[in-house]
């Protein structure tokens, strides 16, 4: 099988490519990535010389490039996205171009190319937020209405609707994947968990929005890659699948866990002004993917955090240049 993976130099995309290379020796992968701030070729240094892997630097908005690379491909897995909420608040335009216009280009070319499966990676943020007064058992299902609260989330919701429309109108064999907050190796160090770990390794405080009461569901990236793998091979076309980690936790509790695991105390916490429109809680109902495809998360949050901390300790060569590249202004960008 030949896969076209877009955004494969990003955090989840690179982990997915490595997962496919390691588990499917007869598959070939073409990786199209624009190498924006979070796209890093070093994420795939260990497989860059594999005869089954080829990288092309380019944008999914470029129709000519997409046509060239999609020729002969069996399936498309679209990770390409501008994905950071805080950056979308400062400047939404790149999010509209990549997450909406770029997705449209991919769909149009896929329609013309006879693609067998088009897997679109979305986000739990399209559903908006669960309020503080909601019962803990209340979670978003695939049928929950969209109510995005940031330009990033709105752009992803728009992309989802485009993808769905191409199935309904043209019968394009699409599937939408909506994961919760991923964490693990190769995550850009302005995101919440790697920011905490790398700051502590450098003797710096860890920033927490507001009082740290916001709740996120954490999904170890390897579990997400396994879910996307199963959806690619066995998912039902025209459907969407939630992929939650069963790891709900308040940001302040997560921070305390990381501090404890790294031998630090709460004097390392620095509370900062909350961001505009900060969603209170995300939580996904996994019933559909569990019942239909037999997937459920295998890495508990405590185990995943330990593995992630150890990876960042052992791979300073990877994250140190990225930390140096972040400007003073961008250091406020953390947490998806």
Residue 130 DSSP one-character state: B
Helices 103-113 and 151-170, axial angle in degrees (round to 10): 20
pLDDT tens-digit profile of 118-132?
999 999 999 999 988
With 0.85 as the threshold, say if the pTM is over it: yes
Kind and range of the H or E run holding 261:
helix 251-261
Q: Which residue numbers are catalytic?
A: 124-125, 152
- Locate the domains of the chain by residue range: 2-182+219-243, 186-215+248-279+300-332
Residue 328 banded pLDDT, cuts 50, 70, 90: very low
* 121 φ, ψ (degrees, to nearest 5): -90, 115
Secondary-structure breakdown of the chain: helix, strand, coil percentages, each rounded to the nearest 5: 45, 20, 35
pLDDT of residue 204: 95
* pLDDT tens-digit map of 248-302: 999 999 999 999 999 999 999 999 998 887 889 999 999 999 999 999 999 999 9
Report whether 98 contacts 60 (CB < 8 A).
yes
- Write out the H or E segment, with its range, that includes residue 134: none
Question: Rounded CA gap, 175 and 162, in Å?
Answer: 12
| Structure tokens, 137 | 């058992």
**Does residue 333 have a pLDDT over 80?**
no
d(CA 167, CA 164): 5
| pLDDT tens figures, 190-231 | 899 999 999 999 999 999 999 999 999 999 999 999 999 999
Residue 89 CA to its chain's centroid (Å): 18
* CATH architecture of residue range(s) 186-215+248-279+300-332: Alpha-Beta Complex (3.90)
Distance CA 252, CA 203 (A): 19
Using an 8 Å Cβ cutoff, are 218 and 119 in contact?
no
Residues 26-62 have pLDDT tens digits of 999 999 999 998 899 999 999 999 999 999 999 999 9
Please give, one letter per residue, the 3-state secondary structure of 177-199. EEECEEECCCCCCCCHHHHHHHH
Q: Say how far residue 286 (Cα) sits from the centre of its chain.
A: 17
Q: Which two tokens mark 119? A: 């897997």
At 331 the pLDDT is 47
Q: Which residue has the higher pLDDT, 190 or 102?
A: 102
For 307, other C-beta atoms within 10 Å of its C-beta total: 15
Q: Which CATH class is domain 2-182+219-243?
A: alpha beta
Q: Is 148 helix (H, G, I), strand (E, B) or coil?
A: coil
**Rounded Cα gap, residues 204 and 188, in angstroms:** 17
Rounded CA separation 125/34 (Å): 23
Question: Alpha-carbon distance 322 to 162, whole Å?
Answer: 34
* Collapsed DSSP state (helix, strand, coil) of residue 206: strand
Q: 232-257 pLDDT, tens per residue? A: 999 999 999 999 999 899 999 999 99
Distance CA 98, CA 106 (A): 11
User: Coil, strand, or helix at residue 335?
Assistant: coil
The encoded tokens of residue 296 equal 């459920």
Q: How many CB atoms lie within 10 A of CB 45?
A: 11
Write down the pLDDT at residue 324.
86
Q: How far is CA 101 from CA 82, 104, 312, in A?
A: 12, 5, 35
């Amino acid at each position: 099988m030949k896969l076209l993976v877009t955004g494969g130099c990003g955090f989840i995309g690179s982990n997915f490519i490595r997962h496919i290379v390691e588990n499917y020796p007869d598959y070939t992968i073409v990786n199209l990535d624009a190498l924006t701030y979070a796209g890093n070729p070093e994420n795939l240094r260990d497989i860059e010389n594999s005869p089954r892997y080829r990288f092309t630097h380019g944008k999914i908005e470029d129709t000519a490039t997409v046509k060239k690379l999609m020729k002969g491909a069996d399936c498309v897995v679209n990770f390409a996205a501008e994905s950071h909420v805080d950056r979308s608040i400062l400047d939404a335009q790149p999010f509209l171009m990549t997450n909406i216009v770029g997705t449209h280009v991919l769909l149009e070319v896929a329609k013309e190319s006879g693609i067998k499966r088009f897997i679109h990676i979305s986000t739990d943020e399209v559903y908006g937020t669960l309020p503080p007064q909601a019962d803990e058992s209340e979670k978003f299902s695939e049928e929950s209405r969209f109510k995005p609260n940031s330009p990033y989330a709105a752009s992803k919701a728009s992309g989802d609707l485009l993808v769905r429309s191409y199935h309904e109108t043209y019968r394009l064999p699409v599937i939408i994947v909506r994961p919760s907050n991923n964490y693990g190796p190769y995550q850009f160090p302005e995101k919440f968990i790697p920011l905490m770990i790398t700051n502590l390794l450098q003797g710096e405080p860890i920033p927490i929005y507001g009082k740290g009461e916001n709740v996120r569901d954490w999904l170890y990236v390897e579990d997400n890659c396994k879910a996307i793998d199963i959806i690619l091979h066995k998912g039902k076309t025209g459907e969407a699948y939630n992929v939650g980690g069963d790891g709900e936790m308040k940001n302040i509790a997560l921070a305390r866990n990381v501090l404890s695991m790294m031998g630090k105390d709460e004097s390392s916490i620095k509370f900062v002004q909350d961001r505009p429109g900060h969603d209170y809680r995300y939580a996904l109902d996994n019933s559909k993917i569990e019942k239909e495809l037999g997937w459920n998360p295998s890495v508990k949050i405590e185990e995943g955090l330990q593995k992630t901390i150890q990876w960042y300790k052992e791979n300073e060569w990877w994250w140190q240049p990225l930390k140096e590249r972040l400007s003073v202004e961008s250091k406020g960008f953390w947490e998806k």
